[in-house]
């Protein structure tokens, strides 16, 4: 009889009803500073994963998250842009009072992740002092018609691109992961001179115009030009 009584009570236990979300107002969270939408998306995805939610689908700036916990299912829409994210419940089955806690926890976690300022790389200082010209003295006198070819071979060997062949010299460009550098090379039958033109992203000392990377690239170019004029 006792066993039958327990079964009877269990059979009468009702599941928590599905919450009616039709009248629920969207939860709008404004960001303290404008962020790259990609950063906002990353924070939302990370929060969903960290809180045990699953990213069910993603359509443009809208992410649908789903949480399944001990028979309860909650689904939420999160729409974001550079200045805010908006949460709206889509489903809350067997969630009862836990629904508010789960959404509050997710909302607070996303906001916390976006509260940390984005790290902006420091821009390379503007060059105010121009690097000194680099002189390349040939081991022996060259025929003027051979000098240009020797310089071009040296440039190619070190990934420089010849941009222009002008009366005032050859203009060459180096595209490096550390930045862009452009030089002009003039020449005679006895020597060549490498003259700094401009650069982007390369860290020069603004007082002296010195850069370790620039000096290294010049040494490599000097050695290559000399090797091609021996």
Residues whose CB is less than 8 angstroms from the CB of residue 75 and which lie 6 or more positions away in sequence, other chains included: 56, 64, 65, 66, 67, 89, 90, 91, 92
Intra-chain end-to-end CA distance of the chain, in Å: 109
pLDDT per position as a tens digit, 141-161: 999 889 999 999 999 999 999
* Of the candidates 82, 191, 79, the residue with the CA atom closest to the CA atom of residue 140: 191
Q: Residue 10: pLDDT band by 50, 70, 90 thresholds?
A: very low
Whether the predicted pLDDT of 7 surpasses 70: no
Residue 191 is predicted with a pLDDT of 95
For position 118, what pLDDT does the model report? 55
The structural domains of the chain, ordered by start, are 16-115 (3.30.310.80), 134-227 (3.30.310.80)
Structure tokens at 69: 């916990």
Angle (CA) 199-201-204 rounded to 5° is 75
| pLDDT score, position 186 | 96
Measure CA 19 to chain center. 41
- How many Å apart are CA 6 and CA 206, to the nearest integer? 84
- The token pair at 8 is 């009877």
Burial 52-61 (b: 16+ CB within 10 A, else e): ebeeeeeeee
Asked if pLDDT for residue 69 goes beyond 50, the answer is: yes
DSSP 8-state secondary structure symbol assigned to residue 201: S
CA distance 49 to 228: 59
**pLDDT(53) > 60:** yes
> Whose CA is closest to 70, among 40, 90, 96?
96
Give the pLDDT of residue 127: 52
Judged against a pLDDT cut of 80, whether residue 91 lies above it is answered with yes
Joined together, the tokens standing for residue 61 give 């700036």
pTM of this prediction?
0.46
**Distance from C-alpha of 28 to C-alpha of 20, rounded to nearest angstrom:** 20
pLDDT at 62: 95
The structure tokens 């009803």 sit at 17
């Amino acid at each position: 009889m006792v066993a039958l009584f327990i079964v009877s009570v269990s059979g009468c236990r009702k599941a928590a009803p599905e919450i009616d979300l039709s009248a629920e107002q969207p939860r709008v969270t404004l960001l303290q500073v404008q962020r790259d939408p990609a950063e906002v998306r990353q924070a939302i995805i990370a929060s969903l994963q960290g809180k045990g939610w699953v990213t069910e689908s993603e359509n443009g700036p809208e992410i649908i998250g789903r949480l399944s916990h001990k028979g309860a299912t909650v689904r939420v829409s999160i729409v974001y842009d550079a200045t805010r994210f908006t949460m709206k419940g889509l489903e809350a089955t067997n969630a009862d009072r836990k629904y508010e806690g789960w959404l509050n926890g997710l909302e607070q976690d996303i906001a916390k992740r976006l509260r940390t300022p984005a790290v902006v790389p420091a821009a390379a200082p503007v060059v105010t002092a121009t690097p000194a010209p680099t002189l390349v003295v040939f081991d022996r006198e060259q025929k003027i018609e051979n000098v240009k070819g020797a310089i071009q071979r040296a440039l190619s060997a070190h990934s420089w691109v010849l941009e222009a062949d002008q009366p005032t010299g050859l203009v060459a460009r180096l595209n490096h992961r550390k930045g862009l550098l452009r030089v002009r090379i003039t020449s005679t039958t006895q020597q060549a001179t490498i003259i700094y033109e401009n650069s982007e992203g390369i860290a020069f000392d603004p007082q002296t115009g010195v850069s370790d990377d620039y000096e290294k690239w010049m040494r490599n170019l000097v050695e290559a030009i000399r090797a091609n004029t021996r």
